[in-house]
């Protein structure tokens, strides 16, 4: 089965308004003819609506939020709901990024609620999993990733799963310049597909898109994306430079 190819850019808390508009415009224009690759950009919240306006009506270019609230609405000062994100034209939300798990102490229960609200508000999800360095060193990385998958995704059904992409992001590779080798990444991606097979079905495992994230750049993307179970990338630092991100989009 040939799965969709996807390149997603997570801008994190970077860019101001002018920089964000220049970056999205450059990436969008450069990718117009690349219709066989799905592009997803996760800009900071204040720039989402303008980014949606620039990219609207494009069938292979989507905008997503980097987070959403576990609450539906109400007295939660500073929070942004799935409904708000959907109502300005976003298609995606990033859930479970390691920076949210680590710095904001997001728990599996919160992630389940966030995914529920996102699905109920017609948003697709990129759900991030990945082990810490000590977990890889003590060889518990498969168990850690399996728990992150099962604890959260087993609360959803196979139809829900069709709206969820998984991003495998070893935490020791995020922003460090140290990339997982293609063998390490492929091994974990195949394992993740096995977990989906066991908990859902062979068809679901075959269909689900699994992206690699962690210091992916224009130099290593081609080798990573050529692995059987790697369907694309979630790109942090390298998504902040239009030319670098465009080269990654061309790496399939």
Spatial contact of 90 and 126, defined as CB atoms under 8 Å apart: no
Spatial contact of 187 and 142, defined as CB atoms under 8 Å apart: no
- Ranked by CB distance to ligand PEP, the top (closest) residue is 236
Catalytic residue of the set 38, 97, 106, 121: 97
Strands (E), the chain: 5-10, 37-42, 61-65, 92-95, 124-129, 164-168, 210-213, 232-235
Closest C-alpha among 85, 98, 105, 108 to residue 214: 98
Q: Which residues bind ligand PEP (CB under 6 A)?
A: 10, 169, 174-175, 213-216, 234-238
Answer yes or no: 187 catalytic: no
Catalytic residue of the set 70, 99, 135, 169: 169
- Minimum CB–partner distance for residue 238 and ligand PEP (Å): 6
Furthest CA-CA distance within the chain: 48
Answer yes or no: 169 catalytic: yes
- Minimum CB–partner distance for residue 117 and ligand PEP (Å): 22
The residue (of 64 and 213) whose beta carbon lies closer to ligand PEP is: 213
The residue (of 9 and 204) whose beta carbon lies closer to ligand PEP is: 9
The CA distance from 116 to 112, in Å, is 6
The residue (of 24 and 235) whose beta carbon lies closer to ligand PEP is: 235
- Minimum CB–partner distance for residue 237 and ligand PEP (Å): 3
The residue (of 169 and 231) whose beta carbon lies closer to ligand PEP is: 169
For the chain, the residue count is 252
The CA distance from 72 to 85, in Å, is 12
- Minimum CB–partner distance for residue 229 and ligand PEP (Å): 18
Residues belonging to the active site: 97, 169
């Amino acid at each position: 089965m040939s799965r969709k190819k996807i390149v997603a850019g997570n801008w994190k808390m970077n860019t101001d308004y002018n920089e964000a508009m220049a970056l999205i415009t450059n990436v969008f224009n450069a990718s117009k003819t690349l219709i066989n690759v799905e592009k997803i950009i996760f800009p900071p919240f204040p720039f989402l609506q303008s980014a949606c306006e620039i990219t609207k009506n494009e069938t292979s270019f989507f905008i997503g939020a980097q987070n959403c609230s576990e609450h539906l609405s109400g007295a939660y000062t500073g929070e942004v709901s799935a409904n708000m994100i959907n109502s300005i034209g976003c298609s995606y939300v990033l859930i479970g990024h390691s920076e949210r798990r680590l710095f904001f102490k997001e728990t599996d229960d919160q992630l389940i609620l966030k995914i529920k609200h996102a699905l109920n508000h017609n948003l697709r999800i990129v759900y991030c999993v990945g082990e810490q360095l000590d977990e890889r060193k003590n060889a518990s990385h498969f168990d850690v990733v399996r728990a992150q998958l099962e604890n959260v995704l087993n609360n959803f059904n196979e139809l829900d799963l069709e709206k969820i992409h998984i991003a495998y992001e070893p935490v020791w590779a995020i922003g460090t310049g140290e990339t997982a080798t293609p063998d390490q990444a492929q091994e974990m991606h195949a394992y993740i597909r096995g977990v989906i097979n066991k908990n859902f079905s062979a068809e679901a495992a075959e269909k689900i898109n699994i992206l690699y994230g962690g210091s992916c750049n224009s130099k290593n993307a081609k080798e990573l994306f050529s692995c059987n179970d790697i369907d694309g990338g979630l790109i942090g630092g390298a998504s902040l430079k239009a030319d670098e991100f465009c080269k990654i989009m061309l790496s399939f």
